[in-house]
């Protein structure tokens, strides 16, 4: 459905409109990651530990309110980034952005909760409904009113919000049945969530800020059209790739944390290694297919996005490699996450962001969008190597057998 979304809307609103949409959504995703990432990551890390604590619902509900408040505040401060890309700042546009941000935060939270509870059907249900609504609602809005990227944004916001409302209502009902109010125990859980999660929130925000930086600099140096074409092409390549690889990460994460919390560290390491092997094997198969059939595949992409220029032919392999590196980094840094070393993960993400900014500033004006793709590869490779190096001690301290040592 994500592939259909890209093709349909880049044709409807054009590369220029899609470029503006891509910049704004990248910024909102980064803000959402910053404001709610701490809560989602803490839920993944500690839910199995506090699952039967009666105060957990209070902690989660209060955490959502914190995330929403912080997110709206940061969004208002971030409006300065939207003026250079031609987004008119008005009461309507600010209200629109706030709606989308709230929807993203709620959707991510309840998807994470279903993932943590090991309810794969719930995750599939939520994401499937959201994907279908993301296509249908914007189409209806543009059919009723006019073709405008702002209506695409509005439709996306509604599509994120609607699947979350039943979960929010159920959460509130359960909370109302609990007579016990906030206690020192609840505060202790919340503070543990914050202490563990906020460095991860910063790391997630920095990681999600990298796609925004890419699109922002392309917009500033090359204009809306190239921003839309690069965003659309990379979305097609990476979403095709993520269909195969992201479910592995989605399934492995909560099981890893559950095994680690149960002190079954050997099983957790074995699962992580198998996931790394599976993702790498899948990537090599896809890379081989792309190398063999690159002209044919690019012809298919030009049919889907007719405005694609010849220079984008050289982007296919770099985008595939960048997608693999960033996807596998979610598994490579797991030892640091399980050992509760989020500051090291944050440091790696900040350095990767610096590489992204410098690479785009120096090489984008000279080499065009190809420079952005190779900068993404460089930043992703750095983060993977950085995480591998720092996590080696954790693996060795836990006496992973040398035959299974992944590095």
SS3 53: coil
What percent of the chain lies above the pLDDT cut of 70? 86
Calculate mean pLDDT across residues 231-253.
74
How far is Cα 297 from Cα 290, in angstroms, rounded to an integer?
7
Q: Give me the torsion for CA of 389, 391, 393, 398, rounded to 10°.
A: -150
Burial class (CB in 10 A: 0-12, 13-18, 19+), 65: exposed
Of 165 and 405, which is predicted with more confidence?
Answer: 165
What are the tokens at 134? 């993301």
Give 350-360 pLDDT, tens digit per residue.
999 999 999 99
pLDDT for the residue 183: 59
Question: DSSP label at 313?
Answer: G
pLDDT for the residue 407: 39
Contact 225, 86 (CB under 8 A): no
Give 29-39 pLDDT, tens digit per residue.
999 989 998 88
Give 117-158 pLDDT, tens digit per residue.
766 677 778 888 998 999 999 999 999 999 888 899 999 999
Reported as a pLDDT band with limits 50, 70 and 90, residue 406 is very low
How far is Cα 142 from Cα 81, in angstroms, rounded to an integer?
26
pLDDT for the residue 244: 67
Other C-beta atoms closer than 10 Å to the C-beta of 405 total: 12
Q: Return the exposure string of 156-170: e unless at least 16 CB atoms fall within 10 Å of the residue's CB, then b.
A: bbbbbbebbeebeee
Which of the residue ranges 186-190, 324-328, 401-405 would you say has the lowest mean pLDDT? Answer: 401-405
- What are the residue ranges spanned by the domains of the chain? 2-404
Reported as a pLDDT band with limits 50, 70 and 90, residue 177 is low
Question: Has residue 7 got a pLDDT over 80?
Answer: yes
Give the CA angle between residues 230, 90, 101 to the nearest 5°: 60
Calculate mean pLDDT across residues 62-74.
91
Calculate mean pLDDT across residues 73-79.
88
| CA dihedral (128, 130, 131, 135) positive or negative | positive
How far is Cα 332 from Cα 387, in angstroms, rounded to an integer?
7
Prediction pTM value? 0.82
SS3 101: helix
Give 301-348 pLDDT, tens digit per residue.
888 888 888 888 899 999 999 988 988 888 888 888 777 777 888 899
Give the CA angle between residues 147, 27, 41 to the nearest 5°: 125
pLDDT for the residue 362: 94
| CA dihedral (270, 272, 275, 279) positive or negative | negative
């Amino acid at each position: 459905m994500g592939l259909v979304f890209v093709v349909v809307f880049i044709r409807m609103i054009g590369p220029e409109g899609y470029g503006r949409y891509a910049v704004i959504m990248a910024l909102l995703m980064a803000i959402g990651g910053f404001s709610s990432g701490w809560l989602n990551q803490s839920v993944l890390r500690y839910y199995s530990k506090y699952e039967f604590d009666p105060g957990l619902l209070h902690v989660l509900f209060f955490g959502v309110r914190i995330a929403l408040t912080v997110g709206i505040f940061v969004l208002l401060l971030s409006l300065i980034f939207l003026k250079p890309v031609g987004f008119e700042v008005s009461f309507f546009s600010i209200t629109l952005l706030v709606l989308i941000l709230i929807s993203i935060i709620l959707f991510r939270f309840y998807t994470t909760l279903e993932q943590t509870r090991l309810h794969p059907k719930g995750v599939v249900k939520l994401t499937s409904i959201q994907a279908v609504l993301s296509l249908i609602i914007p189409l209806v809005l543009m059919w009723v009113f006019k073709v405008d990227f702002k209506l695409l944004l509005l439709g996306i916001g509604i599509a994120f919000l609607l699947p979350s409302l039943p979960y929010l209502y159920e959460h509130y009902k359960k909370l109302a049945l609990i007579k016990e109010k906030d206690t020192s125990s609840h505060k202790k859980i919340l503070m543990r969530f914050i202490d563990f999660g906020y460095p991860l929130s910063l790391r997630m925000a920095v990681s999600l800020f990298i796609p925004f930086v890419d699109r922002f600099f392309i917009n500033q140096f090359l204009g809306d059209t190239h921003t839309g074409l690069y965003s659309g092409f990379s979305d097609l390549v990476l979403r095709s790739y993520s269909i195969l690889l992201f479910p592995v990460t989605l399934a492995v994460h909560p099981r890893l944390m559950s095994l680690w919390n149960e002190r079954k560290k050997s099983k957790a390491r074995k699962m992580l290694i198998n996931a790394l092997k599976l993702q790498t094997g899948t990537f090599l198969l896809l890379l081989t297919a792309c190398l063999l059939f690159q002209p044919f595949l690019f012809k298919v992409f030009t049919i889907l996005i007719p405005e694609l220029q010849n220079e984008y032919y050289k982007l296919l392999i770099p985008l595939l490699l960048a997608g693999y590196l960033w996807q596998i980094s979610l598994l490579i840094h797991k030892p640091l996450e399980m050992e509760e070393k989020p500051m090291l993960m944050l440091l790696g993400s900040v350095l990767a962001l610096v590489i992204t900014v410098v690479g785009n500033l120096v090489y984008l004006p000279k080499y065009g969008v190809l420079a952005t793709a190779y900068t993404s590869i460089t930043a992703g490779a750095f983060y993977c190597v950085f995480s591998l190096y720092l996590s080696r001690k954790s693996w060795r301290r836990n006496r992973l057998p040398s035959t299974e040592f992944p590095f």
